[in-house]
Amino acid sequence: MSAQSYDTFILAFSDPASISPNPQRARIPANLSFEIFDDSHLRTLSTNNGGGDIEGLLYVPDLDPSDPCVNISTKYVPSNVTRFSDLPPVQYQYIAFAPWISAACTKSYLAAAQGNTAFMFYLPDNGNTTPPPVNDQTWNLNDGGQWKAQYKFPVYAIPGSEGTTTMQQLAQYSGNSSNDKIDSILSEFQFDSSDYVRLYTSFGTSGSNNLPTLWAFLLIVLGVVLLLIGLTSVTMHYFQRRHRRALQRRVENGEVDLETLGIKRSHRMPQAEIDKLPKYIYVPTNDTPDDKGLGQSSTPSSETASDNHTFFSQSSCTICLEDFIPKTTEVRSLPCHHIYHPHCIDPHLASRSSRCPVCMARVLPTKNEPITNAMVRAERRLRERQRLHGVSADGIDGTTWLTNFRRQLERRRRVFSAPGATSDTVQPTRSQIEMNAVAGRAVSSPLPTHTPTVMSGAQTEARTGEGRPPPADVTARRAHMNRRLSRMRGPERTLEDEEAERWARLPRWRRAVGTVFPGFG
Amino acid sequence: MAQKRIVKEYSELQKNPPLGMKISLPSEADMHQWQILIDGPKGSPYEGGVFTLQLSLPTEYPFKPPTLSFKTKIYHPNVTNDDKGSMCLGMLRADEWKPSSKIDAVLGFARRLLSEPQPDDAVEGGIAREFKENKKEFIKNAKAWTKQYAKK
């Protein structure tokens, strides 16, 4: 592991050999002794086996007396320098220290290292600059770099000037000098006179020192990212909620009607509810309504006779435009007091919408169904489309996630604006499918989403008889009409349904993104 | 229901046709397709022209609105400048349509639109802009188209 910094200081410690009741260690402050700390000029030459803390007592290895390097080194290594024998033989780690004079001498020093944790070199003529890079010729030991594998400890190099100073200090705190610094330190820090005061070096490796900061940095980045995601999500949820509320308000104020826009499924009335609406025999305004003899109307008495005067002013049914015949025609009255032929209004209420065709008032009380994000989106797209309609057909949607909507909107637009589409494109296809379904029941349909789900024999009858004028007989005609209307009913799809289907088709991750960031598509 | 009501409305309009309009059925068998000939209203750039319109009544009529399209090319902000010539606004929109509205009203609405285009609800953005910003040019173009396509 490469190191970024090193710290050489004076350490006082109890003699491990003495039977001291409480062994002590003390780092001697720099102002009382000496310290070199450098975090910018250290060079790592070999990272072998350098895991964990790399620190230990500093010493200069003993060379073989016959080695010529002994003489060469004298210039740099004082004779009274700390040797391995000057250190306690147990309990401590050791870091060898030597000048890098020549390839041969370095080899000798490396070979002489004992019980090493690391080796620290310095280039005596290197000044105070960072030693050359690892691949520099300086460090070539003429063995193709084999030494790095051979010696299982990391090797570092420090600047020349620092090395020279360290060497001098190593001579002073060796226990071999006449210097009284050791004794004064020992007495000042209340050590035993036989205890040690030596140089101690500790390397700040990226493993022990820098990784925590790296982790902290990563954690901070992660935290910031999470925070941003959270904030974005909250903001988007907030805006979605606001949009939902806004739409809710507009619906309540009657500015928009999601049902007629085809966004929300029309609320249809069950026949039982329709039967509860009062039926009367039509009487012109001035006469008194007669509700006797009408077994079908279950609660006619809930409406008083005087109320009925107002709405009996209608003289014809707005659906078929036929006049009501006084005292003969049976009429159905909605809560808004608009009246119709039962055979005109009932199918409308049952199959299309629970609203009065004239005033759009709801026949059933409004159910407060929640507005969904899908409805908000559908409504907005529809509005946008209406605004841009024709001006720029491709203007609003270039992105793929809009395509479904676009298709839907396109279809809607065709249905209510282009005359050809209603009768030529959509209807025939649909009737074709119906025919196919009736005839074969196994014909694959080109427009599966439009295929009515169930076909009954009665409907087939209605279809085949469609070309002919309706039967003259009243009951037969009514039956004919009912069949036709029930066929017309079909499964009406809404934008809301489309949205739900689109959602279901999305891959799971897209759904997750959509949930965290609503309104993102 | 649809058939009956359509027949009724048709005969009423035949008896009492709206001003400057001729209504006919291109095919007697199909009551759902009407042909309307409409004279360009006086004082409008369409004056002097006769425009052919097609009125299509959906099978769900009167619960769904009829659709109206110009078969004669017309220079108008609310009519698409393609072979469909469709127009879609006001009461003809699905969300504004009421079953109680009658074809008579639809035709009146179409005629009024010729006199008073609604550039804010336009389908032809370019023409709408011209109508708003350079009325002279608009009138010139509309007159030229009327002369070219809507001759009597």
Find the range with the poorest average confidence among A213-217, A438-442, B121-125: A438-442
Task: Identify the pLDDT of residue A447.
Answer: 38
Say if residue A446 is exposed, middle or buried (CB neighbours under 10 Å; 0-12, 13-18, 19+). Answer: exposed
B99 vs A357: CB contact, 8 Å cut-off? yes
Residue A275's alpha-carbon distances to A296, A308, A452, in angstroms, are: 8, 18, 27
pLDDT digit string, tens, across residues A24-59: 888 888 888 889 998 888 888 888 765 667 889 999
Interacting residues of A207 by C-beta distance below 8 A, sequence separation 6+: A1, A50, A51, A52
More confident residue, A80 or A292: A80
Residues 317-356 of A with CB under 8 A from B: 318-322, 343-344, 347-348, 352
Residue A299: per-residue pLDDT: 39
Per-residue pLDDT tens for B22-78? Answer: 888 888 788 889 999 999 888 888 888 899 999 988 887 888 888 888 989 899 988
Query: Domain residues of chain A, as ranges?
Result: 3-206, 271-351, 403-506
Query: Considering only CB atoms, which chain A residues are within 8 Å of B63?
Result: 348, 352, 357
Position A441 scores a pLDDT of 38
pLDDT at A159 > cutoff 90: yes
Q: Which of A129-143, A193-207, A227-241 has the lowest mean pLDDT?
A: A193-207
> Residue A257: CB partners within 8 Å, gap ≥ 6?
A251, A360, B95
The pLDDT of residue A209 is: 47
Q: Can you list the alpha helix ranges (DSSP code H) found in chain B?
A: 2-15, 103-115, 125-133, 135-149
Q: State the nearest Cα–Cα gap between B105 and chain A, in angstroms.
A: 14
Contact (CB<8Å) A322/B8: yes
Mean of the per-residue pLDDT values of chain A: 72
CA-based nearest distance B63→chain A, Å = 8
pLDDT at B42: 87
The partner residue sitting opposite A422, judged by closest CB among B3, B58, B98, is B58
- Which among B4, B60, B123 has the least Cβ separation from residue A390? B123
Is the pLDDT score of A153 beyond 80? Answer: yes
CATH architecture of A271-351: 2-Layer Sandwich (3.30)
C-alpha dihedral over A370, A373, A376, A378, to 10 degrees?
Answer: -120
Cross-chain Cβ contact B98/A357 below 8 Å: yes
Q: How far is A321 from chain B (nearest CA, A)?
A: 6
Q: For residue A15, how many other CB atoms are within 10 A of its CB?
A: 15
**What pLDDT is stored for residue A442 in this prediction?**
38
Rounded Cα gap, residues A59 and A95, in angstroms = 6
Q: From the CA of A340, how many Å to the nearest CA of chain B?
A: 11
Of A451 and A155, which is predicted with more confidence? Answer: A155
A357 vs B63: CB contact, 8 Å cut-off? Answer: yes
Q: Chain A contacts of B92, Cβ < 8 Å?
A: 416-417
Report the b/e string of A271-308 with b at 16+ CB within 10 A: eeebbebbbbbbbeeeeebebeeeeebeebeebeeeeb
User: Residue A302 pLDDT more than 60?
Assistant: no
Higher per-residue pLDDT: A182 or A109: A109
A261 and B95 in contact by Cβ < 8 A? Answer: yes
Q: Which residues of B are catalytic?
A: 88
**Which amino acid belongs to residue A102?**
S
- Dist. CA A333–CA A340, nearest whole Å: 7
- Quote the pLDDT of residue B29: 80
User: Rounded distance, CA B147 to CA B49, Å?
Assistant: 7
- Closest residue by Cα to residue B142 from B121, B119, A418: B119
State the Cα–Cα distance between residues B152 and B139, nearest whole angstrom.
Answer: 19
Q: Name the DSSP class of B147.
A: H
Q: Residue A389's closest CA among B132, B2, B79?
A: B79
Could you tell me which CATH class the domain A3-206 is placed in? alpha beta
Higher pLDDT, A448 or B20: B20
pLDDT of residue A231: 94
What is the pLDDT at residue A286?
55
Task: Output the pLDDT for position A72.
Answer: 87
Q: Domain spanning B2-149: which superfamily?
A: Ubiquitin Conjugating Enzyme (3.10.110.10)
A68-83 per-residue burial string, b: 16 or more CB within 10 A, e: under 16: ebeebbeebbbebbbb
- A416–B88 C-beta distance less than 8 A: yes
Check if A4 contacts B (Cβ < 8 Å).
Answer: no
**In this model, does residue A309 exceed pLDDT 50?**
no
Q: Pick A164 or B151 by higher pLDDT.
A: A164
What pLDDT is recorded for position A467?
41
Distance from CA of A394 to the nearest CA of B (A): 13
List chain A residues with CB under 8 Å of B98. 357-358, 360
Please report residues of B whose CB lies closer than 8 A to that of A352.
63
**Site of tokens 């040797």:** A83
pLDDT of residue A449: 37
Query: Residue A348: which of B63, B88, B122 has the nearest Cβ?
Result: B63
How many CB pairs below 8 Å do chains A and B form together? 98
Sheet holding B86-87, edge to edge: B21-24, B33-39, B50-56, B67-70, B86-87
Instruction: Say if residue A232's pLDDT is above 60.
Output: yes
Tell me the average pLDDT across A81-92: 85
